[in-house]
C-alpha cells in the first residue's frame, strides 16, 4: 500500500511537459492508453500543480504596462501546439517498439506496468473492448493536453472573441474582428503596443483555432471544442492572460 501511494504521488507531480514527452515518445499508443486511463486523476492533479507553479502573474485590464507586455510577449513566443499521435508513426514497427521498450524501461516503469496489468486484467471485458475503451480515454487525454497548451498562451479577449462572436454562428467578418480588436486595444494600449489585428490573430491561426473563410474567419473543430470545454470548465478562464 505504501509503495502504491508513493507511485501515485510521483505521477501526481508530473508536469504537462512530462506528460507531453510521455505521449510523444512511447512507441505504441496502447501503452499510453492504459497508463492514461489508470492514472488519469493523478495526471489531472499534476496539471493543476503545473498551473500553480507556472502562472507567474495575474493580470487585468487595469494592470501595469510591464505585466501586460510580458503576457503579450508570451503569445508572440508561444510554444508549438501538440500534434495527435499518428496511427502508426514511421519507423514504429514491432521490433523498433520492442527495442525502445528495452532501452527506456526502468524499475519504476516496470512497477507501473505491473499495476496497470493487474488493474486491466480485472475488467470484465474482452481484449478488443479494452482497446476501444482505452483508445477513447487517450483521445480525451490528448484533447485535454491541447486545451492546456492553448490556455497557457491564449488571451482572455481572444477567448471572448471566440465565445461571443464566433460561437455558435461560427463565422465573423474581417471588419467585425478589426472593430473588436480596436476596442480591446483601447482598454490596454501598453499591452498591445505595436500590435495590429494580423498579429492578434496570428496565434489563433497557427494553433488551428480559427481558419480563413470567405471574407472573414471561422472556428475550426479544435476551436469550437475548446470553447465548449472552457464553458464546461470555467476555471480555465483564470489561467488565460487577462488582456
Counting beta carbons within 10 angstroms of the beta carbon of residue 49, is it exposed (0 to 12), middle (13 to 18) or buried (19 or more)?
A: middle
**Can you give the pLDDT at residue 27?**
39
Angle value at C-alpha 199, between 193 and 200, nearest 5 degrees = 85
- Give the helix/strand (H/E) hosting 186: helix 174-187
User: How would you list the strands of the sheet with 171-173, edge to edge?
Assistant: 171-173, 216-219, 210-213
Q: Which CATH number fits domain 71-78+155-239: 1.10.1060, 1.20.120, 1.10.10, 3.30.70?
A: 1.10.10
The dihedrals phi and psi of 207, each to the nearest 5 degrees, come to -85, 0
Angle between helices 197-206 and 174-187 (to 10 degrees): 110
Mean pLDDT of all residues in 189-203: 91
Angle value at C-alpha 10, between 4 and 13, nearest 5 degrees = 140
Q: Name the pTM for this structure.
A: 0.64
**Among 56-65, 127-136, 194-203, the least confident range:** 56-65
pLDDT tens, position by position, 155-173: 999 999 999 887 667 888 9
- All structural domains of the chain with their residue ranges: 2-66+82-151, 71-78+155-239
**Can you give the pLDDT at residue 59?**
40
**Which of the four pLDDT bands, split at 50, 70 and 90, describes residue 197?**
very high
Highest mean pLDDT among 32-41, 84-93, 175-184: 175-184
**Which of the four pLDDT bands, split at 50, 70 and 90, describes residue 133?**
confident
Contacts with 121 (C-beta within 8 Å, 6 or more apart), sequence order = none
**Can you give the pLDDT at residue 73?**
72
Mean pLDDT of all residues in 174-179: 94
pLDDT tens, position by position, 42-71: 455 555 554 444 444 444 444 445 566 667
Q: Write down the mean pLDDT value for the chain.
A: 76
Amino acid at each position: 500500500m505504501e509503495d502504491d501511494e508513493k507511485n501515485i504521488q510521483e505521477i501526481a507531480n508530473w508536469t504537462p511537459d512530462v506528460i507531453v514527452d510521455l505521449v510523444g515518445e512511447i512507441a505504441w499508443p496502447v501503452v499510453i492508453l492504459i497508463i492514461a486511463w489508470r492514472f488519469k486523476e493523478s495526471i489531472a492533479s499534476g496539471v493543476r500543480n503545473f498551473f500553480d507553479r507556472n502562472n507567474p502573474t495575474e493580470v487585468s485590464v487595469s494592470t501595469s504596462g510591464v505585466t501586460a507586455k510580458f503576457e503579450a510577449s508570451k503569445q508572440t513566443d508561444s510554444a508549438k501546439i501538440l500534434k495527435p499521435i499518428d496511427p502508426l508513426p514511421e519507423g514504429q514497427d514491432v521490433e523498433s517498439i520492442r527495442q525502445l521498450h528495452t532501452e527506456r524501461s526502468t524499475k519504476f516503469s516496470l512497477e507501473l506496468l505491473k499495476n496497470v496489468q493487474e488493474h486491466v486484467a480485472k475488467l470484465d471485458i474482452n481484449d478488443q473492448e479494452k482497446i476501444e475503451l482505452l483508445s477513447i480515454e487517450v483521445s480525451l487525454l490528448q484533447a485535454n493536453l491541447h486545451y492546456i497548451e492553448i490556455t497557457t498562451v491564449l488571451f482572455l479577449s481572444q477567448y471572448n472573441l471566440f465565445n461571443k462572436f464566433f460561437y455558435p454562428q461560427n463565422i465573423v467578418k474581417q471588419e467585425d474582428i478589426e472593430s473588436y480588436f480596436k476596442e480591446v486595444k483601447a482598454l490596454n494600449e501598453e499591452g498591445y503596443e505595436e500590435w495590429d489585428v494580423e498579429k492578434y490573430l496570428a496565434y489563433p491561426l497557427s494553433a488551428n483555432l480559427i481558419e480563413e473563410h470567405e471574407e472573414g474567419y471561422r472556428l475550426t473543430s479544435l476551436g469550437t471544442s475548446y470553447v465548449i470545454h472552457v464553458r464546461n470548465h470555467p476555471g480555465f478562464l483564470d489561467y488565460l492572460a487577462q488582456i
